[in-house]
Amino acid sequence: MRLADCLAPSRVLVPLPCETLGDARAALLERLSASGAIADLDRLQGRVAEERGEDMVAIADRAFLLHYRTDTASTLQVALGVCPLGLKRTLEDGTEQRAPVVVIVVGPPRSAARQLQVVRAFGRLLPKEEVIDALLASPSPEAVVTLSVFSDYEIPEQLLVRDLMTERPRTTTGDVSLRRAAHELIETGLAALPVVDDEQRLLGMLSERELMRHLLATEVLSDVNSRHAPPALQSKKTVRDAMTRQVLCVAPEQPVAEVAALMTNKDVERVPVVREGRLVGFLTRGDIVRKLIGS
């Protein structure tokens, strides 16, 4: 499947005769409804009006990427509009965002995996200046759907780890004090931190489990004198003293189904995603559940 397969001239507006993102969204939703992709437009508009943060990705000065999972959609469909003067979006603090391109992806729950792949594909293409320039130069809907940037983009048959992983995850280093790293886990609500070196090579993992083991070994199960060791001595402990070096890693190109089965069989909650030994992402069971089952 290629990205161009998700596009059709009947769902493309070039030029888009709107000034605001809200008006552009309404116009494109009507196009989706007219094409038969949406069975109940009013119901979907009610869902859209909730304006959940996860529904949209704003790509600065280039595009707005909106996506909705709804049982009013019969199939996975994409609508696209181009406004050369730019579409305006006003944020709650009064600041404005403006971009010339808007893409809406809708699909039923059963197409969740494929929808994520399509959203990711647009998310990778729309930040590119040459893609926006090509869209702005397109004189008609037919010209848009035949652009090589869409016809050349092939979507894998299976959902891959890179489609779900968190890119550029929060990390720590081996030399960071254990107390500081523990506070970071508590303050951020994260359950684990990958440990990397200066070149982002994965060295290990520090999680609540390792912290608990370290506390049991150094505080609870030690003798009275060591339990009351001076603070200066305790502060010398670093992440390297507690982290585990035995870490199950996965690659960004692995199928999610394969990794999910592996995580279940190994009873692992989270895995670093590495390429040639360097950390490129992080995947948790929660990511898989939220992004595939969540609406």
**What pLDDT sits at residue 232?**
42
**pLDDT of 218:** 66
pLDDT on residue 233: 40
- Residue 162 to residue 287: CA distance in whole angstroms: 12
Q: Please tell me the CATH code under which domain 166-293 is placed.
A: 3.10.580.10
How far apart CA 78 and CA 41 sit, in angstroms, is 15
Q: Beta partners for 4?
A: none
Amino acid found at 4: A
**Residues 64-104: tens digit of each pLDDT:** 999 998 888 888 999 999 999 999 999 888 899 999 999 99
DSSP 6: G
DSSP assignment string, 133-200: HHHHT--SHHHHHT-HHHHS-BPPSS-BHHHHSEES---B-TTSBHHHHHHHHHHHT-SEEEEE-TT-
Question: Looking at the domain 3-155, which fold is it?
Answer: Mannitol-specific EII; Chain A (3.40.930)
pLDDT tens digits, one per residue of 7-37:
999 999 999 999 999 999 999 999 999 988 8
**Distance (Å, rounded) from C-alpha 252 to C-alpha 49?**
34
pLDDT in tens, 242-288: 999 999 999 999 999 999 999 989 999 999 999 999 999 999 998 88
Q: What is the pLDDT of residue 237?
A: 86
Bridge partner residues of 58 (DSSP): 64
Give the phi and the psi of residue 206 in degrees, each rounded to 5: -115, 115
Nearest to 144 by CA among 79, 99, 98, 57: 79
Domain extents in the chain: 3-155, 166-293
Confirm if 242 and 134 have CB atoms less than 8 A apart.
Answer: no
Residue 43 has phi, psi (to 5 degrees) of: -65, -40
Q: Give the pLDDT confidence of 121-180 residue by residue, as tens digits.
A: 999 999 999 999 999 999 999 999 999 999 999 998 889 999 999 999 999 999 999 889
Predicted local confidence at residue 295, as pLDDT: 46
Burial (CB < 10 A; 0-12, 13-18, 19+), residue 94, is exposed
Tell me what pLDDT residue 292 has.
Answer: 79
pLDDT 10s digits, 210-236: 888 877 766 544 555 554 554 544 557
Contact 214, 242 (CB under 8 A): yes
Query: Mean pLDDT, the chain, as a whole number?
Result: 89
Mean local confidence (pLDDT), 199-203? 96
With a CB cutoff of 8 Å and minimum separation 6, the contacts of 95 are: none
Question: Residue 237 in contact with residue 178, Cβ under 8 Å?
Answer: yes
pLDDT in tens, 31-42: 999 988 888 889
Strands 192-196, 202-207: pairing kind:
antiparallel
**Is the pLDDT assigned to residue 185 strictly greater than 70?**
yes
**pLDDT score recorded for residue 260:** 92
* Contact residues for 23 (Cβ-Cβ < 8 A; gap 6+): none
Asked if residue 236 lies in contact with residue 175, where contact means CB atoms within 8 angstroms, the answer is no
The per-residue pLDDT for 132 is 98
